[in-house]
Amino acid sequence: MRLQISGLCAVIAAGLIAGCSGSGPSMNPGASGNAGAAQSRASHSIFLGRWSATASVLPAALRPTGPMPLHGRSGDGIKPNFMSAAGGLYVSQFYSTEILAYAHQNSSNGPPTCAIPGVLFPNDVASDDKGDVIDPDGGSKTIMIYKGHGKCGSLLGTINDPYGQPVDASSQNAQTGTIAVANLFSTNEGGGTISLCTLASGCTSNMVNPNMWEVIGVAMSRSPSDCWATAYNSSGTPSLTWFQGCTGAGQTATGWMNSSPGGLDIDKSGNIVSLDPASATAYVYSGCNPTCTLVGGPFALEGQAIYGHVNRQSMALATADFQNGQVDVYDYDVPKSLDYMFSFNNGLSASDEVLGVAYSPRSHQ
């Protein structure tokens, strides 16, 4: 699993890239800014080659099919219930200094409706119950909160992350509530962590676990407020860790079948949506507290994606398809099916790494 560790270092950790190597996960906090970006771009083609090689050995039924027509493919169509859903959709690109907003139903491959400027190496992008946007900003090591709901509103506040480099976030209410933040690597703990932060008080607690060396994704449930984190351990083995009440040392979930750690989300039924970037698939689980029960999948995706989110009604799943430089949208009807609907790439650039995508507002758990 060393290849996946090295690859994720190349894409997610540009500001800290100097220490990444195929021999194991180690980081050098001294590399940052333009120098870090240059180092990351230099190893970027290696990243894509490794992931493509990983995908090519999959069984035929699970192989990504490559770039698809951007307006959907014959026989799929756009589901009527999806077309009636409200809200917007935000997309982050790792090498871009903007987060772009799109119409919720962008089946015609329309251009961005607006942009949030001033970000630096954004990783995943998230939203809360109100639709406000959360940027776990890898370059500035801050969590930025913007007024959202598809309107690219003003900056509501910034939280400095003293615990490490943020790559993912989850919150019910980013403006007044708690934000769970995934730190790829930690400033003091060595491995990755999950931090709990608020706009009012900053980041005040930090959760660690021996299986979390390189943390990739985080999800926080509504009630009870539990937290889950995907990660590699120091040997390169993927894991899912459950933190009951978002506190304590956490427990390693059993029955989690992913071959690699990716982003997490929670649908309206309380199921955990777990992306597997190595196999270009999505799994849906119930429980994982600590025993996971497979509800649906593995569902084949159109391209490899680290992050993705379901919409408020849990009618659709959007994934940030870095393999093809686009956003892929699926009809989410789990446990029965996850059917591809369409893709869009207007305003996006494959060279900028399409890395994060989130519906605004988030799934109504």
- The confidence band for 86, taking pLDDT boundaries of 50, 70 and 90, is low
Q: Which residue has tokens 């429980």?
A: 287
The CATH number of whichever domain residue 144 belongs to comes to 2.120.10.30
Q: What is the 3-state secondary structure (H, E, C) of 228-242?
A: EEEEECCCCCEEEEE
| pLDDT above 70: residue 214 | yes
Residue 38 lies in a domain: no
DSSP for residue 246: G
In a domain, 213, yes or no: yes
Q: Tell me the C-alpha distance between 309 and 244, whole Å.
A: 22
Tokens of 365: 């758990």
pLDDT of 236-274, one tens digit each? 999 999 999 999 999 999 999 999 999 999 999 999 999
- Full domain range(s) for residue 80: 68-360
Give me the pLDDT at residue 89, please.
Answer: 94
**What six digits make up the tokens of 138?**
């890898």
What gap in Å lies between CA 233 and CA 209, rounded to an integer? 9
Q: Looking at per-residue confidence, does 334 or 21 come out higher?
A: 334
Is residue 191's pLDDT more than 50? yes
Q: Report in angstroms the alpha-carbon separations of 121 from 12, 202, 241, 294, 295.
A: 8, 21, 26, 34, 34
pLDDT at 149: 77
On whether residue 5 sits in a domain, the answer given is no
Structural domain tally of the chain?
1
Most confident of 16-25, 85-94, 336-345: 336-345
Compute the distance between CA of residue 362 and CA of residue 339 in angstroms, rounded to an integer: 20
Tokens of 190: 């060595």
In a domain, 252, yes or no: yes
Residue 27, pLDDT score: 32
DSSP 271: P
Q: Print the SS3 string covering 84-125.
A: CCCCEEEEEECCCCEEEEEECCCCCCCCCCEEEECCCCECCC
Over residues 186-211, the mean pLDDT reads 93
Q: What is the pTM of this model?
A: 0.83
Is pLDDT of 29 > 60? no
Indicate whether 25 pLDDT > 60: no
**Residue (of 204, 203, 264) closest to 238 by Cα position:** 264
- pLDDT higher than threshold 80 for residue 43: no
Spatial separation of the C-alpha atoms in residues 19 and 193, rounded to whole Å: 18
In a domain, residue 42? The reply is no
**What's the longest Cα–Cα distance across the chain?**
52
Average pLDDT over residues 52-80: 41
Structure tokens at 224: 């009870």
Contact between residue 170 and residue 194 where contact means Cβ atoms under 8 Å apart = no
More confidently predicted of 179 and 10: 179
Amino acid identity of 9? C
In percent, how much of the chain has pLDDT > 90?
Answer: 71
Is 179 domain-assigned? Answer: yes
Average pLDDT over residues 202-225: 95
Of the ranges 10-14, 122-126, 337-341, 349-353, which one carries the lowest mean pLDDT score?
10-14
Instruction: Report whether 295 contacts 271 (CB < 8 A).
Output: yes
pLDDT reported for residue 1: 26
